Structure 1
């Protein structure tokens, strides 16, 4: 089908109203960048889900990082987007002003050089992410084990998509279709979403990140309304089974566990923690489930579950901005509130 025909169909759609949730922060950004909401019928709505790793990290995890960063002979190593994520009282960036030792890196492997230069320091890497980044942490673990590196530990907040999507469906999220995450699907394979699709009778479209790729996936999802099928619209990089080598490496070092999601509580089987034989490399990842808001008016929890738009939050664009984030959804460039504000997006 030609792209212009797809665009026309989506613009003229006059069937039952549909909420289609994207569960990937990169999709959220691409949807706004390409002006896709304004191309759709008033009966089609795009809502953001829990697709930004730092956005779904609970405050207790940030609090634990701050605690470790303040300990003598300890240093927290992290990516930049985690620095401003609010804990229950403050962020890592704010803690640095009080003497916390925090180093920003661009690759987990950078911690190996730091550990070699300072053998007396315990470096704690903030291992946050979905299935896309978990293999990188498994590769880091391989290096630590084989190199007998004893002064690097991981504080993990690793999560998996199928389980949280199933949780949203079982909780009655107002969603009639899912734009499946392309990057995650490269690792997991498209088939991983099939059990959830079939159980709840909800279609999934695995999509790339260009405007036409997203539009094609939306077209497929709308056409499949009410049918529990998975369509792979990103076959150039996504297969049915995914990256089997990466999955084997992850299984070597990590095992499934319950995980806390910011604003959603604990979701059974939706996390990955270090296996028992590698717990010496863990910096205390267990039981980090508490999630207290700094600003009680923040609506990030409702946004992450597709129940509210960013613009429904009373803090949006006023008290809460990228410079003064009150919730995690405004921190990362993949966060829905950040994307909506930076692109001046008005509608879902």
Structure 2
């Protein structure tokens, strides 16, 4: 550097000029001294610290904050890598790039940059950036790269297809067996209580498809899991409405009583006895067995009389006194099951004399 009575150069690279009269001196320096903190330049570059005096008459000198600079145009020569996604770091190389320079990618400002040297800086690809030129602004100049930087779109996150059910959701009158399938190397987690499947949920056995029984109304959910990736949830609601069994009457058979003949004597005591079997002839015990007597002429109908079961057998008895007028009557037996469905025997003709 060169020193005079009014201008001298400090090691920080600034000209101290507090005593100058406007327009009195023009001072130019090249960075040929390692003591200066000035960048390497190929053109004259002037830093003047004004102190309390502003020197607007100096040729090509413009004010930046509290400094005066002879502006030199920056340049971008390369950047690496040449493509990347939002958030990636890119190294930009060129010249005359300073700490207060602004970077842009296709006119979208870079908010995060790091100055290394006037020939090198790093930038972070900003949100909203698209493919285009990299540019830098500083010293009232803007320079841009000769080639485009390619902003890539990250691939969508990998997903697994959800499991499938071989039976569609719906209402069924019988229990259903649902086969669940998924990719062969995935694990199927499922629930039957309308909760979301998680890693602690039960799993379907392999190989797929594998079956699960649905015997009541159920919300079935299943998810596939592989390599720390979950599928979406497959859901099906199975409504099981099993109709009650048909109200089929029990069918009984009656063995004709042996102690009652076709003819009985008025005012005598007789014992009515009947044995009941099912339709296949097997011994059975109805819930109730009764008898009733009706006159052939239709003028008389006795009350319905319960008969007594004999122990745990299928024999039922009733003893009665014949007080009916002398006439012909019809005797019938009725057996009822637990549901109240009844079976009536064939009529037995009884003559009272």
Measured against the shorter chain, the TM-score band is: under 0.3
| Structure having the higher Rg | 2
Higher strand share: 2
What TM-score do you get using the length of structure 1 for normalisation? Answer: 0.18
Higher helix share: 1
| Higher relative contact order (CA closer than 8 Å, sequence separation 6+) | 1
